[in-house]
A and B are shown apart, each in its own frame.
Chain A
Amino acid sequence: MSHPTNTRNPAYTPKDATQTRRFPLRELVLFGALLIAVLAVYALMGAAYSTRMLVEAACYAILALGLTIQWGYAGQFNAGVMGFVALGGFCAMLFSVPVNDAFWGTELPGELGQVLLYGIAATLLVVGATKLDRLGVPKKLRTVIAVVLAVVLYLVVISLLRDVTSQIQSQAGFVGGFGLPPWVGWIVGGALAGGVGYFIGHVCLGLRSDYLAIATLGIAEIIKAFLKNSDWLTRGTATVSPLPWPTPGPAELGFTLSRAIYLSVTAVVIAVIFFLLHRAYHAPWGRMIRAIRDNEVSSAAMGKDINKRRLEIFVLGCILMGLGGGMLGTFNSLFDPQGYLPLNHTFLVLVMVILGGPGNNLGTIFGAVAVYIIWIMSEPLALFLMQLAVAFGEGTFGWDAPSNMDSRALQARVLVIGMLITLVLRFAPKGLLPEKIKSHG
């Protein structure tokens, strides 16, 4: 300690590591423009409509935060946001809808529980059969036994389940809800989405990054198919509504005020998530995640368990998506499995994240609100433009326009979203508010 000045190389003074605070001009300009856009929507469309738009944008912001930690923090691409959103919406429905006495009053719940128990027992049996080689059974024989057992037991359980579910459908309509407050459903929805995310991540995260995209795309379609066709659980295409709100509903306070209160609930949730994510990002854990994203080999050499960390962050993102999906479902007050579309619930969220700035939470929230406003406003705009084109075509060329022009006009928005994705990737790969990389000298 006698000659501290000699032992330290002046090129590596730690003062460079402290970030120079710059004036956040870009943030201010962008959020100012956003505020003006919101005010313009309020002036044009009225308070009730605009508040609804803001609540939905806030729910999408939660989804976008989920995706930004997967894609921005860790470089994992989740192409099945829709599935996790639908799971969240389903749980919000299941827990908040009033109890259906036509189902719970009969012996049907007992039978359903019995089938579920059979299912668990069958799973245990099959898992046991896969361990038979420890008792000295040859490995090939064990595999054959396990596969045959699995097929037979699966067929038995599934036909029992088909019986019970068709009885439920014919006698009680559907299972009904638990009559609990909606926030219970949101939390369980997040947990369920996280569980599915754990399963997918466990299978795919150790392999090429493309496989995760393929698998998530598939699981999203499967979840949707399940929710759409399980009439005994979700009423399928018949839809369930209304879903009770955790806050006073429009019937008591009017549309604007009740939606404003719901908006404040979502705002609080976003603030909490934002704060926690901000802390996590700057904590050693966040640094480790980014190190893995930027250079896997060197972080593995540092002794980091790459697959475990990846799984952690993937599950975390899925939990947020389930939570956001639950809040969105409750707000819509309608559970319609067919309403979950890859375009609205996967690619829109993707555009929000890559346009706003992957890895930058503030940018993601900005992207979510801005893109959602554009998305909502583009619907009347697309219809107007299409009508203009049809009128022009009929007047000038005597073109006989097909009757379904309105639905085609909405398809044009698919084109715009696709173009946005490719253009942003090409010209602004870091988004409008790029992730701030701290430089250490």
Chain B
Amino acid sequence: MNELAFFINNVVIAGSVTGSIYAIGAIGVTLIFSIMRFAHFAHADMMTFGAFMVLLLTTAFPAVGASIGVPTALIMLPLAMLLTALLAVGIDKAFYKPLRAHGVKPIVMVIGSLGVTLMLQGLIRLFSGTGGQSLYVDDRKEIFRLALPFEGARAPIVITEPQIYLFVITLVAVVALHLFLNRSRLGKAMRAMSDNPELAQASGINTNTIVAVTWVIAGGLAAIAGTLLSLDVTFKPDLSFFLLLPIFAAAIVGGVGHPYGAIAGGFVVGFAETLAVFNWNVLLRPFQDSFPEWLTLPSNLAFVGTEYKIVVPFFILVAILVWRPTGLFKGKVI
């Protein structure tokens, strides 16, 4: 049964963690895509920026969390979300709005967002250095070990404190977004604009407000995703190019412009990554005796090595573009 615990730790839990992070990132990308019709390449750096804000605030006031009993970084998260949302609106005003006003093609907006990516990256690295840093400045990372309820199960299921927060916050964020999009006036206006911008404008929806709201949501979600990722591992300023591909793959798998699809896509990509790097030999080894003589399993039965993890989202992306370019849930924009 140790193998089962190993499988749960390395696939179920790890897959849910990466899946949640990709899902939150992909929601932001897909919302921007559906309102402004371009692939926002600076999203991963907005995630890094949010995490960096949390790091700065946590370093500045390291003792706040201990008084309540939660990590300081989590208390600083709402503040960081606000700052990242402000940054997103500011970037839009300074860089994207003039381009939109010129009526450029979407691909020029993409290049513009790549310029913004580099600027954010430069700024973050200028202030944080290039090394990794833990967001747990004064707190201690709790690790829970749950024993499996079977005979002879010695290896426990391991789950850490930030992972539990990650699942809770992801759930809250998704439910809040669902309520916002379906119940509130602004959310309905957003969906109207994503369906047909001209018609939305003609029916009296203020498109500038919608654009600003989209950036606020995208910025806030990016800050959540970046912070939770950095809590789980460490804060690194140069993650962005490795995050971009899985996040875009998730958004496209789910169908571009489709927030619920993005969630599904995030988990598809996350689980595909962990399943691909998982060494299947671990699960098959207990049955070694029942295999025929000629079949000896090699010790490494992973599909790809961990160093080639980035191949997985790319493969998914290519596969979906070849067989179903609209995505699993029929995205609106193609």
* Chain A residues within CB distance 8 Å of chain B: 75, 77, 79, 154-155, 158-159, 162-163, 203-204, 207-211, 213-215, 217-219, 221-222, 225-226, 228-229, 342-343, 347, 350, 354, 402, 404, 407-408, 411-422, 425-426, 429
Does B170 make an interface contact (CB < 8 A)? no
Task: For A402, list chain B residues within 8 Å (CB).
Answer: 129
Determine the residue in chain A with the shortest Cβ distance to B256. Answer: A208
Task: For B106, list chain A residues within 8 Å (CB).
Answer: 208-210
Inter-chain contact B252/A415, CB cutoff 8 Å: no
Inter-chain contact B300/A415, CB cutoff 8 Å: no
Inter-chain contact B245/A221, CB cutoff 8 Å: yes
Task: For B104, list chain A residues within 8 Å (CB).
Answer: 425, 429
A415 to B318 alpha-carbon distance, docked (Å): 32
CB neighbors of A among B83-125 (8 A): 95, 98-99, 102, 104-108, 110-112, 114-123, 125
A221 to B312 alpha-carbon distance, docked (Å): 12
Inter-chain contact A412/B122, CB cutoff 8 Å: yes
Question: Quick check: which of B136-144, B263-271, B286-294, B302-310 contacts chain A, the rest being far away?
Answer: B302-310
Q: Please name the 6 residue pairs, one residue from A and one from B, whose CB atoms are nearest each other, closest first.
A: A415-B122, A418-B118, A421-B115, A414-B122, A418-B119, A422-B115
Task: For A411, list chain B residues within 8 Å (CB).
Answer: 121-122, 125-126, 130
Task: For B114, list chain A residues within 8 Å (CB).
Answer: 79, 347, 350, 418, 421
Inter-chain contact A218/B317, CB cutoff 8 Å: yes
Inter-chain contact B325/A207, CB cutoff 8 Å: yes
Inter-chain contact A213/B116, CB cutoff 8 Å: no
Looking at the complex, which one of A79, A203, A421 makes contact with B322 (CB distance below 8 Å)?
A203
Inter-chain contact A412/B95, CB cutoff 8 Å: no
Inter-chain contact A214/B245, CB cutoff 8 Å: yes
Task: For A421, list chain B residues within 8 Å (CB).
Answer: 111-112, 114-115, 118
- Smallest Cβ distance from A2 to chain B, in angstroms? 50
Inter-chain contact A75/B105, CB cutoff 8 Å: yes
* Chain B residues within CB distance 8 Å of chain A: 38-39, 41, 95, 98-99, 102, 104-108, 110-112, 114-123, 125-126, 129-130, 241-242, 244-245, 248, 252, 298, 300-301, 303, 305, 307-308, 310-311, 313-314, 317-318, 321-322, 325, 333-334
A203 to B252 alpha-carbon distance, docked (Å): 14
> Which DSSP category, helix, strand, loop or mixed, fits chain B's interface?
helix
Task: For A75, list chain B residues within 8 Å (CB).
Answer: 105, 107
Inter-chain contact B112/A162, CB cutoff 8 Å: no
Task: For A418, list chain B residues within 8 Å (CB).
Answer: 114-122
- Smallest Cβ distance from A331 to chain B, in angstroms? 26
A222 to B304 alpha-carbon distance, docked (Å): 12
Task: For B252, list chain A residues within 8 Å (CB).
Answer: 211, 214
Determine the residue in chain B with the shortest Cβ distance to A204. Answer: B321
With A79-B114, A426-B95 as contacts: A214 and B317 at CB distance below 8 Å: yes
A411 to B122 alpha-carbon distance, docked (Å): 5
Task: For A412, list chain B residues within 8 Å (CB).
Answer: 122, 126
Task: For A404, list chain B residues within 8 Å (CB).
Answer: 129-130
Task: For B99, list chain A residues within 8 Å (CB).
Answer: 425-426
A210 to B311 alpha-carbon distance, docked (Å): 19
Task: For A218, list chain B residues within 8 Å (CB).
Answer: 245, 310, 313-314, 317
A162 to B104 alpha-carbon distance, docked (Å): 49
- Smallest Cβ distance from B328 to chain A, in angstroms? 16
Task: For A422, list chain B residues within 8 Å (CB).
Answer: 95, 112, 115-116, 119
Q: Can you identify 23 A-B contacts, CB atoms within 8 angstroms?
A: A77-B111, A162-B298, A163-B298, A209-B110, A213-B107, A214-B317, A215-B317, A217-B241, A217-B244, A219-B314, A221-B241, A229-B305, A229-B307, A347-B118, A407-B129, A407-B130, A411-B126, A412-B122, A414-B122, A415-B118, A418-B122, A425-B99, A425-B115
- Smallest Cβ distance from B75 to chain A, in angstroms? 27
With A214-B248, A347-B114, A354-B111 as contacts: A208 and B305 at CB distance below 8 Å: no
Task: For B120, list chain A residues within 8 Å (CB).
Answer: 418
- Smallest Cβ distance from B208 to chain A, in angstroms? 19
Task: For A226, list chain B residues within 8 Å (CB).
Answer: 308
Task: For B245, list chain A residues within 8 Å (CB).
Answer: 214, 217-218, 221
Task: For B244, list chain A residues within 8 Å (CB).
Answer: 214, 217
Looking at the complex, which one of B39, B98, B117 makes contact with A210 (CB distance below 8 Å)?
B39
A221 to B112 alpha-carbon distance, docked (Å): 21
- Smallest Cβ distance from A106 to chain B, in angstroms? 22
Task: For A214, list chain B residues within 8 Å (CB).
Answer: 39, 244-245, 248, 252, 317
Task: For B300, list chain A residues within 8 Å (CB).
Answer: 159, 162
With A229-B307, A421-B112, A426-B95 as contacts: A414 and B118 at CB distance below 8 Å: yes
A207 to B121 alpha-carbon distance, docked (Å): 29
A229 to B116 alpha-carbon distance, docked (Å): 30
- Smallest Cβ distance from B37 to chain A, in angstroms? 9
Inter-chain contact A155/B317, CB cutoff 8 Å: no
Most buried by A among B122, B252, B305, B307: B122
Determine the residue in chain B with the shortest Cβ distance to A226. Answer: B308
Inter-chain contact A415/B126, CB cutoff 8 Å: yes
- Smallest Cβ distance from A208 to chain B, in angstroms? 6
- Smallest Cβ distance from B112 to chain A, in angstroms? 5
With A222-B314, A426-B95 as contacts: A343 and B118 at CB distance below 8 Å: yes
Task: For A347, list chain B residues within 8 Å (CB).
Answer: 114, 118
Most buried by B among A159, A411, A415: A411
- Smallest Cβ distance from A144 to chain B, in angstroms? 15
A225 to B310 alpha-carbon distance, docked (Å): 8
With A154-B303, A408-B125, A408-B126 as contacts: A213 and B41 at CB distance below 8 Å: yes
Task: For A429, list chain B residues within 8 Å (CB).
Answer: 102, 104, 108
- Smallest Cβ distance from B89 to chain A, in angstroms? 16
Inter-chain contact B298/A159, CB cutoff 8 Å: yes
